[in-house]
Amino acid sequence: MGKDGSGAGAESSVRAVKPPPDRLYGRARGHKLRPRQERLLDVTLPRLAIPDPLPNGRLWLEVGFCGGEHALAQVRSNPDATLIACEVFENGICSLLSALVPGGEEADAPLPANLHLWTNDARLLLRSLPDACIDRLFLLFPDPWPKARHAKRRFVHPGVLPLLARVMKPGAEWRVASDDPTYQGWVRDVMAAQAFSPWPNPSLSARRGGHRRATR
C-alpha cells in the first residue's frame, strides 16, 4: 500500500505529513479577464460580502466552489440556509457572478440574500468565524495533490481539522467528494488518525462519484 493509501503504515504517514503551507492553492487567475468579468469583480462581488454579524439560522460553507454550479443550486433549493462559498480563482468567481446577473446590471441586479462569497484562503475565514456556527460543510472534488510530497497542500489535513472542529456545530455534516482514489484514502486515514476527537468514530459512507459524509 502506498504512503497515501489505507492499511499498515497509513496512520504514521498521516502523523508525519508536513504542516500546511501559508497557501494551499496555486494561481488565482487563469486567462486574461474580459471587461465584463472585471466589472463583475469590481462591482458585483462586493455586494456579496460576508455580513457582520452573521445571519441567524442555518449556516453552510463550501470550500472551493469552482464554477459555482453546486453553490447556486444549494442556495436556490435551500432558501432558509445561508451559504458562504469560498473560491480563490478569479475565473471561477466570475463564472458564478455571471450566472447571477445579466450584462449591464452588475450594480443593481437582485442577488440571493442567502449567498455570500469569500475569495481568500478558506483557512483565514475559519479562523475568524465564531465557535460552533457551521451546520454543513462542502468540499467537492478538491485538487487531490496526488504526490506524497504535496500532501501538505491538501485541505483535509491534520493541521486544518482543529479549525473545522472549532467552528462546526455538534451534529454538523461535512460532505467530501473526490473521484481520486488517493484522496479518498487520505480522507479516511486523516479522519481515523485525528486525536482531538470532534469525530471520534467518523461515519463515512461511500457515495456515487467518491462522495463521503462525516457527521460530527
Q: Among residues 121, 131, 135, 143, which one is catalytic? A: 143
Cell triple for residue 180? Answer: 481520486
Q: Give the strands of the sheet with 168-177, arranged side by side.
A: 115-118, 81-86, 58-63, 134-140, 168-177, 211-215
Cα–Cα distances in angstroms (integers) from residue 31 to residues 100, 110, 179, 182, in the given order: 21, 28, 26, 29
∠ CA 10-209-151, nearest 5°, is 35
CA distance 42 to 135: 31
∠ CA 6-11-17, nearest 5°, is 105
CA distance 185 to 165: 21
Can 143 be counted among the known catalytic residues? Answer: yes
The residues annotated as belonging to the active site are: 143
